[in-house]
Structure 1
């Protein structure tokens, strides 16, 4: 198994370190031709506009889109999630180019500026069922995006409740004598759709490697399915649907 990590900007070194802890050597990806040598790809967190400009400069977008279309697993964290979304809102003037593939609408800076970065415990029942360990994961949100809408084929792996002020402003509520009301709004922060995985937070900045192990199993299943399908007769390909899990370390 060969896992590439897009190394234009951001936390690619932290992803490489997490892969090493699981016994997998990652490959830094900076050129389109390097994608031919990996079976899976991680697009790390960072500054999405800067990453997009560098990817455009190196003519990486066509190769990244082709990689997604091959069915090889791709995981985007934070800025990487924005890259993989079919639609992004809240962008800077002029917007940015996207790779696409995830049937989602992502808000680029949903949680605010760097000063609004935070940590929280997320409920992750699917991750815990697959990888063991606790039923929660410590999510690190750094100038993070959020998924506002997800298509019917998108599996939600984690969400987060945000307090939303229903009043137009505190001042107007006070002047009118109305009581200010606050409600909870759930936004999606982790999804899976076929060969694509997206997290709005940064698992690579924690000691918990369960998300990386989860992704490696996606890569292993894709490789097993591809190799077994290629050896089958064309009329039997329709039966090649069930992936074969591989053994990887789980969170202790």
Structure 2
């Protein structure tokens, strides 16, 4: 069985943390900064960071179109926080013209940037996930987006619990969503040391695609 090679888009954000979590989850992990590195991987992680900056850097490193094309062709992908924004189909960005973020269109979702507030509004909570066993996952939200709308083919795997502090988070906030081989969370599982269940879930997606291709 071929061991999956999973890239982490290494333009900004928690690249080292994602690489380490993927290695502990049974994958070979490599940073991706150039189109030829992207061409070699079986899956890609788009980490957190700042989505407007990430949009500019994808163009600077000539990665935007190659990444968009590979995603359209079925490349498995996982995006955390800003990565969710980049993988989305539409970003609500307070009416900026031109839009500050150019999403890649891999997920049929509409997201709102910085929906939980500023850095000081970051928080942590425990979430139950469909498809992830062994109890709740501890989730770290930092200037996180939330999902305003999902398409018919998108599966919602987790939502933030009812808002005890009455801060106005809607029931869509903080989702973990999946559409085919593309997964996204509005939180940062790479920051929770010792719990790689989200990364293992993604590695299984990539491995399943590899196994199917090998049998074809």
Given the two structures, how large is their TM-score scaled by the length of structure 1? Answer: 0.78
Task: Give the Å deviation of 1:12.
Answer: 0.9
Tell me if structure 2 keeps the 8 A contact 1:9–1:46.
Answer: yes
- The correspondence for 2:116, drawn from 103, 111, 127, is 111
2:201 to 211, 214, 225: 214
Structure with the higher strand share, 1 or 2: 1
Give, in angstroms, the shift of residue 227 of structure 1.
1.9
Q: Which moved more, 1:191-200 or 1:83-92?
A: 83-92
Q: Report the CA distance between 1:226 and its aligned residue.
A: 1.5
Q: Larger deviation: 182-191 or 41-50?
A: 182-191
Q: Deviations over 1:145-185 (max 9, x none)?
A: 011100111000111146499xxxxxxxxxxxxxxx99873
Distance 1:112 1:48 in 2: 15
Q: Does the 8 Å contact 1:164/1:185 carry over to 2?
A: no
Report Cα offsets for 1:41-64 as digits up to 9, x if no partner.
Answer: 000011111111111111211111
Q: Following the alignment from structure 2 to structure 1, what is the Cα–Cα distance between the partners of residues 102 and 169?
A: 32
Identify the structure with the greater helix proportion. 1
Q: Distance in 1 between matches of 2:215 and 2:46?
A: 28
Distance 1:193 1:58 in 2: 27
Report the RMSD for the aligned CA atoms in angstroms: 2.0
Matches within 5 A, 1:1-252: 1-90=4-93, 93=96, 94-95=98-99, 96-128=101-133, 133-134=134-135, 136-161=136-161, 163=163, 185-188=170-173, 189-206=175-192, 207-229=194-216
Unmatched tracts of structure 2, length 5 or more: none
Matched positions, count? 209
CA distance in 2: counterparts of 1:212 and 1:184, whole angstroms: 26
Question: Can you give the 5+ residue segments of structure 1 that lack an aligned partner in the other structure?
Answer: 166-180, 230-252
Q: By how many angstroms is 1:25 displaced? A: 2.6
